[in-house]
Amino acid sequence: MLSPIPISLEGMFYLDNLNSEDNEKFSATRNRLIHFIAEHHEKEQKLQADIIVQFNELRMLREAVKKQYLEAEENKQALELQIKQITMEYEAARKGQEKRYQDMIFKLEVTKQQAAEEEKGYEFACVELETRNKAKKTGLKEQCQQLWKKVEDERGVCKKVEKCCKIAKNELYVKYQSNDDDKHSEKRTK
């Protein structure tokens, strides 16, 4: 911190309202002011030790930020390419998940239709056939349930892939933004 300047009230004086028409009073006040300025020299200001330490720490931090900024500038294109690549991979994975989901829905519908047709075909059969029908019906229902479970699992995988891609994209974006913020803060400090 800068050391304070002690001010004594002994040498203080107040300027009266200056009337430019009253030359004598104007001249006397002016002379008093010039004499006061000549007698009271400014006191030398000195830096304290903690300011010097803080200044050195700030200088080192600025150098580190500048180094990070330069590294980020070098990697900027690589980061942008990485973002594009992750986006393309995400889109491909999402399309693949969507296709698998549609295929499973289609298989589920076909299985339901087969179950309905088999159920109609066995209505007129004897007791033995009815017993078999129940077994097949149960088997088809189990197949439907298994397919439905796979569809739900695929939905979950699709959501996880989307979430991972969003997280990666946000991390890269935040890293890129922090580099831009460092650049702007460095410009302000200069």
Expressed in angstroms, the distance from the first to the final Cα of the chain is 22
Determine the pLDDT at residue 45. Answer: 62
Please give the distance of CA 136 from its chain centroid, rounded to a whole number.
56
Contact status, residue 158 vs residue 94, Cβ threshold 8 Å: yes
Determine the pLDDT at residue 158. Answer: 74
Decide: pTM greater than 0.85.
Answer: no
CA pair distance 53, 5, nearest whole angstrom: 23
Please give the distance of CA 119 from its chain centroid, rounded to a whole number.
58
The closest of 71, 60, 88 to 175, measured between CA atoms, is 71
Report, as ranges of residue numbers, the positions in the chain whose pLDDT lies below 70.
1-5, 7-20, 41-53, 120-137, 179-190
Domain chopping of the chain, boundaries: 1-46, 49-189
Determine the pLDDT at residue 76. Answer: 83
Domain over 49-189 is classified CATH 3.40.50: no
